[in-house]
Amino acid sequence: MANEVKSIPEGYHTVTPMLTVKNAAAVIDFYKRAFGAEERFRMQAPNSDIVVHAELKIGNSIVMLGEEMPGQECRSPASFGGTPVSFYVYVEDVDAAFKTAVDAGAKEKMPVQDMFWGDRIGEVIDPSGHIWTLATHTQDLSEEEIRKRGNEFFEKMKEQTT
């Protein structure tokens, strides 16, 4: 009897990010240094060094990526001048992970700090322009506590901007 093919391959989750980047080979090396990524698969265009598809494992998640192809309407955040998407990545020690990412060449977007919802986070921008929010969960809070703290946080922000 033949094995039944799973609709979601082993090791994958329902949602798997697929990034478009400039200089994919260099970005793969950066993700290895910055986030401890393990390369699972790399496919290059025939007779070329261009990475058309790669799969990395970061923590317990798979991240796919490939070189931007403007002719195919596939562009990286660097080509757009920004991105509306970010990745929220839970790690054991956000301070150490943040330092590792910055030391590997990520640009600091927001320093590590405690947030009202019970996470300690910091944000970095990778060389392709993708935003990575690194986080360690530090407190279990009720929805009521999060709303109360959030209202206090936004009131304080409002005071600082007026």
Q: Whole-model pTM?
A: 0.89
Delimit the domains of the chain by residue range: 18-160
| DSSP string over 38-107 | EEEEEEE-TTS--EEEEEEEETTEEEEEEE-BGGGTB--HHHHTS-S-EEEEE-S-HHHHHHHHHHTTPE
What's the fold here for domain 18-160?
Answer: 2,3-Dihydroxybiphenyl 1,2-Dioxygenase; domain 1 (3.10.180)
pLDDT tens-place values along the chain, 162 residues long: 567 999 999 999 999 999 999 999 999 999 999 999 999 999 999 999 999 999 999 999 999 999 998 788 889 998 888 998 999 999 999 999 999 999 999 999 999 999 999 999 999 999 999 999 999 999 999 999 999 999 999 999 888 887
